[in-house]
Structure 1
Amino acid sequence: MHMPELKSEPTPVSLRKIVAIFRRERGLSLQQVADGAKIDRSYVHRLESGDRASPGVRVVQALDDFYEADGLVVGAWLLEQEGLYRDRYARFKAAEARATIQHKYMLAIPGLLQTEAYARAVLSADPMVTEDDVDRLVVERMERKEILHRQPSPHVRVILDEVALLRRPSDLAVWREQLRHLTEAAQMPAIVLQLLPVTEGVHDLMGGSLTLLWADDGTAVAYVEGNKHGQLIDDPDEVGALRLSYDGVRDKALSPTATLEKLRHLLEESE
């Protein structure tokens, strides 16, 4: 079967061309494709138009199966999503570097509060990341931490889900160092650290981590992050709604003083 030529680094345009060429080569209308793939016609239109809010992988897989594309459509879509994630994350890091106030709810210990050894252990857990990639990512993560030492330093409030302290690296020395670092960070003037106990039950942010960033001009953005994907949000209404969710989680968290006591207790237990 003839396959459309695909560039080595697909973009939303190349994905659009792939699905459009498959359809036109068969002389099919949008509705005929939708009927054959058992999906809504609007999904086909959105993919062919290069809509950044394109349908999810289920729809893309249905088109791949319908066209008998042997994974070409799905592969191009996945590469597109990876590119979008990199772009969003780059924008997030730029916003983070400019922010004067940061409020975070984290399911894992945030990169800003990780030691080098702990960061290496976390990054090495990804089977798709090479050793060279780990080295590069660790350097990048440590460089990001310089934000905490600039003058004036940003005000950072971190609500850390207790589950992050239950997933420990196999090297106990690495874990002790990380706990010690968290304990020291919790005592820094510009950092407020609060643990959210697992006993507090369900809440509105269980689906992922959230970072709220305020610039010195008062503008705010939010970054919502799941497993290997993230979304940068600048709509004031959406950011406001996420701030309310954050406030609800903060109300359930331990006080900074109780959090520090908990960390000290965990550190003593590890030694």
Structure 2
Amino acid sequence: MPAEKEKARADERSARQTFVQELARLRAEADWSYRELGAKVGYDFSHLYKMEHDGSLGSAEIVADLDAPYGTTPHLTLLWRLAKVEAFRSKYLSYMRTEAEASVLHQFAVSLVPGLLQTEDYARELIRSAEPLEDDVEEQVAARLARRSLLTGADRADFRAVLDEAVLRRPLRDPVAWRAQLAQLVEMAQWPNVTLQLLPFSAGHHGLSNTDTMLLWLRDGKGVDYTETGYSGNLIESPSGFDRLRIAYDRLRDVALPPPETVASIEQLMEELPCDPPEST
């Protein structure tokens, strides 16, 4: 095969494919069977087989342990991280397409202001803190702000968010920008299709304690759910999975503050913030 075509094929490989191919290449060059490799790294050979043949990425620990006997540290670990990011972004794109078709959205926010409610400064600081080496921050900020079109216009979706108190207790570094974010929450809570409820710490533990989740009802009546962490996302389309999270959300909503008390709590927090520094003359 000409070198140009070989290079083109290599460029088209996904990070996952490259990771899996490297696993196979390194094992073949070492001339180790799965059992021999398993004995060296302390993992069941069947799991190693699945990583090469079923596309299972495995954990960060097992990948680091695989780097060691090959003497390739941190080669496999870096490829694994790229594959994990790629997998997350792929799932996120699927979610974005689903979100665009939703007529009703109910979100529980564990520690961050929901994306649909974020100011530009909040989105920028959040993206930079999560991916400090990214060079397309402004593009990501613009894309996040563009999502708010779901809440405006003739076909605007109905949006409800239950905010854990931690959301309001983790401010931006810039107090002026943080005040602006709180003010935007108060403003958007007045929109006819936006409802905000605060879940105080005093509510105790609940079924979504560590699960940021979005329940979506599509215009055809189908319900789906998206759960997310900073490093992974999962779109749940099965009726049983959706119902389980819907029930947990409903129970959560029952113990959250009513919307008027929520707005009052946010306004109280704004009053507790230091006054803006005087402008220099």
TM-score when scaled to structure 2?
0.87
Partner letter of residue 216 of structure 2?
A: L
C-alpha separation between the residues in 2 aligned to 1:133 and 1:195?
33
Amino acid at match of 1:114: Q
CA separation in 2, counterparts of 1:21 and 1:71? 16
CA distance in 1, matches of 2:243, 2:213: 13
The offset of 1:106, in angstroms, is 0.5
Tell me the equivalent position of 1:14: 18
Q: Which amino acid aligns with 2:92?
A: Y
SS in 1 for 2:136: helix
Counterpart pick for 1:43 among 38, 44, 47: 47
Shift in CA distance, 126/27, structure 1 to aligned 2, threshold 3 Å: closer
Tell me, yes or no, if structure 1 residue 145 matches structure 2 residue 182.
no
- Which residue of structure 2 lines up, in the alignment, with residue 186 of structure 1? 189
Structure 1 counterpart of 2:122, which letter?
Y
Residue 268 of structure 1 corresponds to 271
2:37 to 29, 33, 37: 33
Match of 1:238 among 221, 228, 241: 241
Q: CA deviation at 1:211?
A: 0.8
CA distance in 1 between partners of 2:132 and 2:174 (Å): 21
Match for 2:46: what amino acid?
Answer: S
The runs of 5 or more residues in structure 2 that have no matched partner are: 1-6, 276-281
The within-5 A match list for 1:117-132 is: 117-126=121-130, 128-130=132-134, 132=135
Deviations 1:24-58 (Å, cap 9, x if unpaired)? Answer: 2222221111111101222201110142x432111
- In structure 1, stretches of 5+ residues that fail to align are none
Q: What are the within-5 Å matches in structure 2 for residues 102-251 of structure 1? A: 102-107=105-110, 108-126=112-130, 128-130=132-134, 132-251=135-254
RMSD: 2.1
> Could you tell me how far 1:10 is from its partner in structure 2?
4.8
Compute the displacement of 1:119 (Å): 2.1
Are 1:159 and 1:194, in contact at CA under 8 Å, matched by a contact in 2?
yes
Partner Cα separation in structure 2 for residue 247 and residue 179 of structure 1: 25
Aligned partners of 2:197 and 2:262 also within 8 Å? yes
1:59 — aligned with what? Answer: 62
- Residue 182 of structure 1: CA displacement? 0.6
Q: TM-score, normalised by structure 1?
A: 0.90
Report the Cα distance in structure 1 between the residues aligned to 2:133 and 2:31, rounded to whole angstroms.
42
Deviation at 1:127, TM superposition (A): 5.8
Per-residue CA shift, 1:79-128, capped at 9, x if unaligned? 11111111111111111111001010012101111112222233333462
Q: 1:1-35 deviations in whole A, cap 9, x for unaligned?
A: xxxx9x57753222222111222222222111111
Residues 163-195 of structure 1: CA deviation (Å, up to 9, x unaligned): 111111232221221111111111211111101
The 5 A counterparts of 1:67-78 are: 67-78=70-81
Percent of residue pairs identical: 32
Q: Is the 8 A contact 1:64 1:74 kept in 2?
A: yes
Letter in 2 for 1:37: V
